[in-house]
Structure 1
């Protein structure tokens, strides 16, 4: 079922996109071509296939916690800052990249 100009105008209005009549005609044609490209998907037998909302299924947070489990492996702050060009307390000090007139902070 092809999209009508009214359908495309409604989508454009929802997206807050102003389209002239010429642009509306062009976008209607473009969107109908895009929908036609998806037609082969309708040929698949999907009976019994559960819908997924993520391509990897039930995957949840796979990142580990940001905690050091072994304090003997952690690099001491003094060692980490030893060869730094400039430091400020426990931190590396670097030049500003934002064009700040006051210089680096």
Structure 2
């Protein structure tokens, strides 16, 4: 296994990303990160001659969102028609904090 990262590199990355690593964790983290990098090594062996870079995985898309248009909604009675308990034009639900009934 090649040594891609040193313990000093790992300490710097941990400080930069604000990940708390104890001094006794740094050597093991260095070994694990280097193993991950080694696992990516086969990617460097791919023949990429003539392959165009992909800047966006979906291609050349423009805005795929619908237009923002006003649509009719429910009336208050329609919205509340299945409510178990209504109070003043609102749903009445059981209290979940502090105990007690609706």
TM-score (norm 2): 0.66
CA distance in 2, matches of 1:104, 1:61: 48
Which has the higher relative contact order, 1 or 2, with Cα contacts under 8 A spaced 6 or more apart?
2
Aligned counterpart, 1:23: 25
Match 1:49 to one of 49, 52, 60: 52
Q: Which moved more, 1:9-18 or 1:37-46?
A: 37-46
CA distance in 2, matches of 1:84, 1:31: 55
Structure 1 position 104, deviation (Å) = 8.6
Deviations 1:55-105 (A, max 9, x none): 43455664544731xx4xx543313312311234444332344x2x38699
Instruction: Specify every segment of 5 or more residues in structure 2 that has no aligned partner in the other structure, as ranges.
Output: none
CA distance in 2, matches of 1:22, 1:57: 46
Q: Give the 3 Å change call, closer, same or farther, for CA 75–19 of structure 1 in structure 2.
A: closer
Instruction: Specify every segment of 5 or more residues in structure 1 that has no aligned partner in the other structure, as ranges.
Output: none
Q: Which moved more, 1:30-39 or 1:59-68?
A: 59-68
CA distance in 1, matches of 2:90, 2:60: 39
Deviations 1:30-72 (A, max 9, x none): 00011111112222316552242x543455664544731xx4x
RMSD: 3.3
State the number of aligned residues.
98
- 1:41-80 matches, within 5 Å, as 41-44=43-46, 45=48, 47-52=50-55, 55-58=57-60, 62-64=64-66, 65=68, 67-68=70-71, 71=72, 74-80=73-79
